[in-house]
Amino acid sequence: MNFNINMNRFKDALYPIREIKDLKMLIDESASLYGNRDAFLVKDTPGGQYQAIKYKQFKEDIDALGTALMDIGLGGRKVAVIGENRYEWVVSYLATVNCGSVIVPLDRELPVGELHHLLEKSGVSAVIYSGKVEIAIEEAAQGISAIDFTISMDANLNRGENLSYKLLLEKGRKLLMEEKRFFLDVVIDPDKLAIILFTSGTTGLAKGVMLTHRNLCANLMGISQFVRLSGDDTALSILPIHHTYEFTGDIMTPIYQGACVAFCEGLKYIVKNMAEARATILVGVPLIFESMHKKVWRKAESTGKAEKLRQAVNIAKTLNMFNIKAARRLFKSVHEALGGNARMFIVGAAATDPGVIEDFNAMGITMFQGYGMTECAPLISVNKDRYFKAASVGLPIPGTEVKIVDQDENGIGEIICKSDSVMMGYYENPEETAKVLKDGWMYTGDYGYFDKDGFLYISGRKKNVIVTKNGKNIFPEEVEFYVNKSDYISEVVVWGFEDLESGETVVCAEIVPDFDLISEEFGRLSDEELRKLIAKAVDSANEKMSVYKRIKRFEIRETEFEKTTTKKIKRHTAVNR
């Protein structure tokens, strides 16, 4: 097999890539290049040992399932896939798109009513599901006449229109042995609809992002010119797999580059699974890494080693001792606490404290941010793995053009982008499509700016901006960043409203204290004592901001905010306004 290796695709690229035009080409080439390498590490039973699946077997399973799906008439149709992060989910996704069909990945945590709505709206002909969501799927699929088959990843028997993934695999293998090549010979149109991804939202409001093979392949090639993995790397898959950030960044990028993917058994098993899988790469959201960071420092505090650790981190930062063997030796206990093999953390989906990034880099783990959205498959920018700035979301990935429009006096404006990664539009929603796609440019709805070196910084969401009477913009995300600096605050949501009496804009906050830490340090506090403690933290945050940005009113909340499956707070449901 010949491969088209492009050494200098873009001037900003760090690494050469091989050109791919569709996901079928990607799988065929990766299987040819890396056939005997481990592609996945999976567990047959919870708590068991990881078992390896080679690239060769991975391709064979995709070919077999794709052949069987076409044999039962699902070629060129829409198929939903839903379940936890697992190997069968990935095979189902790729078998579907590589036979010219459309995959509809769904969030397994959605309520039955919303699942029913999305299954009906997307017009799927089949649903491939895991045993953990079987009951929900049975209920959600009721009354939808377009669904011809439901396919269980776990069942061992076919029951009428309820089919077994395992038996379909066996059927596909037999058909391939009989030289039935209809799946193998499918020619993929890279610009044809291949994926419908529904954004988070309440029933009727979720928008279906339409993506193509070209969208995903362009994104993979762009990422891979800035971030390099090897056959020695294993990425631990922890974020919901239906989300494009996880699927593109943590599943398909390793597969494209010849690394391995291990599936995490759940958020509370991250460190345990990192050690078991000897994971080197972790792609996550701020909540995960900030939690790890807090645990490192709290353990140091409890063992009386915090000052020693702080001095070592400061020395490493001063000497710029990032990512070298000396740093790993110096912070051996930290590395052991994170599984022993971690070398790279990539964070996205929300703003991250640069201090956390700087600390992990000082400790010998390369950590940096990226930025994107589902509509861009998803990466728009990312830091290079050898050249990055902690507070920035990086440089536009090769092949992506980014502009800042409607800038204010500080150069902050809306981020727009153009690339082969940008979606076709929203499924059956031309009105919403027209709002964000204009003359080939994707209007992200995010505010940001560039520094003198071309690095991109995110200020906040356009729809969240608080505008004062005299025209000043307040980004809630910035205010929240300073409030969250307090160890005694777990979560915060900031918003603004017009005070009718004074006519001024009042910045308000709803705060979830870190009750466990507060109880550990102070014992049981009265409501008045708790409020005084939080008020002190708010005052400290206010001192770091301009007067017009400061919080004037706050309320204490006893329960954490509702979040999406990628651990972002659902701002629109957070408070009554």
Give the model confidence (pLDDT) of 351-362 as tens digits.
Answer: 788 989 999 998
Gap between the Cα atoms of 356 and 354, Å rounded = 5
DSSP helix/strand/coil, 211: strand
Question: Do 397 and 225 form a contact (C-beta atoms < 8 A)?
Answer: yes
- Rg (C-alpha) for the chain, rounded Å, is 24
Task: Say yes or no: 81 and 191 in one domain.
Answer: yes
Interstrand relation of 162-164 and 193-198 (parallel, antiparallel or unpaired): unpaired
Q: What is the mean pLDDT of residues 309-330?
A: 74
Asked if the structure places residue 14 within a domain, the reply is no
pLDDT score for 200: 63
Q: Is the pLDDT of residue 341 over 70?
A: yes
Last residue of a domain, one of 434, 461, 488: 461
Last residue of a domain, one of 152, 185, 215: 215
Task: Say yes or no: 440 and 456 in one domain.
Answer: yes
Q: What is the mean pLDDT of residues 317-327?
A: 65
Q: Is the pLDDT of residue 7 over 60?
A: no
**Quick one: tokens of 389?**
């700035």
Task: Say yes or no: 137 and 71 in one domain.
Answer: yes
Task: Say yes or no: 475 and 526 in one domain.
Answer: yes
Q: Is the pLDDT of residue 502 over 50?
A: yes
Task: Say yes or no: 537 and 426 in one domain.
Answer: no
Which of 471, 476, 490 is closest to 447 using CA atoms? 476
Asked if the structure places residue 16 within a domain, the reply is no
Asked if the structure places residue 228 within a domain, the reply is no
Asked if the structure places residue 237 within a domain, the reply is no
Gap between the Cα atoms of 344 and 363, Å rounded = 11
Asked if the structure places residue 239 within a domain, the reply is no
| Residue 487, domain CATH | 3.30.300.30
378 cis-preceded (ω within 30 degrees of 0): yes
Q: Is the pLDDT of residue 560 over 90?
A: no
pLDDT score for 202: 36
| Residue 198, domain CATH | 3.40.50.12780
Task: Say yes or no: 335 and 390 in one domain.
Answer: yes
Q: Is the pLDDT of residue 488 over 70?
A: yes
Task: Say yes or no: 454 and 515 in one domain.
Answer: no
Please give the C-alpha separations between residue 290 and each of 165, 355, 479, in angstroms, as whole numbers: 38, 10, 18
Task: Say yes or no: 88 and 175 in one domain.
Answer: yes
Q: What is the mean pLDDT of residues 145-154?
A: 95
Interstrand relation of 162-164 and 78-82 (parallel, antiparallel or unpaired): unpaired
How do residues 393-405 score in pLDDT, each as one tens digit? 999 999 999 999 9
How do residues 508-534 score in pLDDT, each as one tens digit? 888 899 998 888 888 888 888 889 999
pLDDT score for 225: 96
What total of structural domains would you count in the chain?
3
Please give the C-alpha separations between residue 452 and each of 449, 456, 457, in angstroms, as whole numbers: 10, 10, 11
Question: Average per-residue pLDDT in the chain?
Answer: 89
Question: Do 332 and 550 form a contact (C-beta atoms < 8 A)?
Answer: no
Asked if the structure places residue 152 within a domain, the reply is yes
Last residue of a domain, one of 215, 242, 271: 215
Of 175-184, 305-314, 426-435, the range with the lowest mean pLDDT is 305-314
**Which residues touch 524 (CB under 8 Å, ≥6 apart)?**
none
Of 138-152, 360-374, 543-557, the range with the lowest mean pLDDT is 543-557
Task: Say yes or no: 489 and 564 in one domain.
Answer: yes
Asked if the structure places residue 238 within a domain, the reply is no
Question: Do 498 and 505 form a contact (C-beta atoms < 8 A)?
Answer: yes
Asked if the structure places residue 421 within a domain, the reply is yes
- Pick 310 or 157 by higher pLDDT: 310
Task: Say yes or no: 119 and 203 in one domain.
Answer: yes
Confidence category of residue 201, pLDDT binned at 50, 70, 90: very low
pLDDT score for 9: 55
Residue 264, domain extent: 260-461
Task: Say yes or no: 472 and 455 in one domain.
Answer: no
- Pick 571 or 138 by higher pLDDT: 138
Task: Say yes or no: 441 and 554 in one domain.
Answer: no
